[in-house]
Amino acid sequence: MSSIVAIVGRPNVGKSTFFNRLIQRREAIVDSVSGVTRDRHYGKTDWNGRNFSVIDTGGYVLGSDDVFEAEIDKQVELAIGEADAIIFMVDVETGVTPMDEDVAQLLRKVNKPVFLAVNKVDNSKRLENAVEFYALGLGEYFPIASTNGSGTGELLDALVDALPEDTRPEEAELPRFAVVGRPNAGKSSFINALIGEDRYIVTDIAGTTRDSIDTKYNRFGFEFNLVDTAGIRRKSKVKEDLEFYSVMRSVRAIEHCDVCLIVMDATRGFDGQVQNIFWLAQRNRKGIVILVNKWDLLEKETNTMKEYEANIRREMEPFTDVPIVFMSVLTKQRIFKAIETAVEVYNNRSKKIKTSELNEIMLPIIESYPPPAYKGKYVKIKFCMQLPTPQPQFAFFCNLPQYVKDPYKRFLENKLREKFDFNGVPVSVYFRKK
């Protein structure tokens, strides 16, 4: 599981510029998900071979200056609670401000690595001015310039050294199913309904984050770890705050699992926050099952379920090959079906296909429908294989990989799904030079 690094600081010190610089460093492994409020603020990046997630707390604060202070304090607290390391960004142009001192005061109490980044240091005069940030009492600082990247290498070297090693317990061989979703969708009730009276089968292993608990589930021949993210602590009723928290908590759980059970409230629909969680899981290449809870509360006609499902699939495009289970935790309707489906998705995700079988099936399809010619050049695909990754990824070897466009990749992905059943699992298709 990758570590989480939070970038905190008051508005307009250049957090987002630095964040964008980080996550665009290597487009290939990088991902950024549009968040719950304005602004992109969750991304994955790597440095010196260590992958980590970055959270930019910049996109959350709305309101006037006086509202800012309370909001920033809250964000810093949340970031402190969830992140493994913190980058505290300040601005050499404005010098130390009272708001910086507030944030520093919060950060001095933390026993997590804190890196003070003094931004906008792009000439020697400013380098001298940066000295005043020693006054914040956070020790050494890193002079950087987000816009051109100077100084960021030293900061990232130090950061990566301080990140905790990936200490997944050895016995975590059991599949991990994360129950995620927005607050009040019924996640806790779902887990309680599953473990039910047979409390004795349950072992509580404290999770990697506070109150994200792993519960061993072993019934009806299924054995796996349930990761419950239901403990989203309501620090306050501020909407951005809660959403920020749910996203942060979901990020953790999603990165740490094999299959995501996304619990949504039938009465609210597949709304923005549920979609964010869905795309987060999809971009992290996890197995996905959508559980529409509180189905008993909806007035139903003959085609209600069909139409509801069609609406969800429309919102998910282009990745629509995902199982949707309509259930009610209250009446225990289809909760076992939910688990059965999750186990199927897990099996699909860990499916390995023999290279000979893959070529036997895919090459004739490619021959009948070759990639369209590009600038008069023809792409010839000679061979394909599944890559040795935890989730399904396929490499197709051809003479001109750069000429294969997305629609054809989607065509091949759909054929793979049709022939081998990857329901609920994101499939990646790559083209390589043979």
109 is annotated as contributing to ligand binding: no
229 is annotated as contributing to ligand binding: yes
Residue 170, both tokens: 């050895």
Q: Report how far residue 314's alpha carbon sits from residue 317's, in angstroms, rounded to the nearest whole number.
A: 6
184 is annotated as contributing to ligand binding: yes
Residue 121, both tokens: 């240091």
212 is annotated as contributing to ligand binding: no
Q: Report how far residue 330's alpha carbon sits from residue 327's, in angstroms, rounded to the nearest whole number.
A: 9
56 is annotated as contributing to ligand binding: yes
Q: Which amino acid, one-letter code, is at 342?
A: A
16 is annotated as contributing to ligand binding: yes
183 is annotated as contributing to ligand binding: yes
119 is annotated as contributing to ligand binding: yes
57 is annotated as contributing to ligand binding: yes
14 is annotated as contributing to ligand binding: yes
96 is annotated as contributing to ligand binding: no
405 is annotated as contributing to ligand binding: no
186 is annotated as contributing to ligand binding: yes
Q: Which of 19, 117, 4 is nearest to 50 (CA)?
A: 4
- Tell me phi and psi for residue 300, to 5 degrees: -120, 145
187 is annotated as contributing to ligand binding: yes
232 is annotated as contributing to ligand binding: yes
192 is annotated as contributing to ligand binding: no
47 is annotated as contributing to ligand binding: no
Residue 41, both tokens: 């603020």
Q: Which of 206, 214, 219, 220 is nearest to 178 (CA)?
A: 214
Kindly list the distances between the CA atom of residue 221 and the CA atoms of 4, 265, 340, 343, 386, in Å, as whole numbers in the listed order: 35, 29, 10, 11, 30
The three-state DSSP-derived secondary structure of 157-169 is HHHHHHCCCCCCC
372 is annotated as contributing to ligand binding: no
221 is annotated as contributing to ligand binding: no
15 is annotated as contributing to ligand binding: yes
84 is annotated as contributing to ligand binding: no
9 is annotated as contributing to ligand binding: yes
> Strand runs (DSSP E) across 273-375, as ranges?
287-293, 324-326
153 is annotated as contributing to ligand binding: no
231 is annotated as contributing to ligand binding: yes
164 is annotated as contributing to ligand binding: no
168 is annotated as contributing to ligand binding: no
272 is annotated as contributing to ligand binding: no
Per the annotation, binding residues are 9-16, 56-60, 119-122, 181-188, 228-232, 293-296
**Binding-site annotation: residue ranges for GTP:** 9-16, 56-60, 119-122, 181-188, 228-232, 293-296
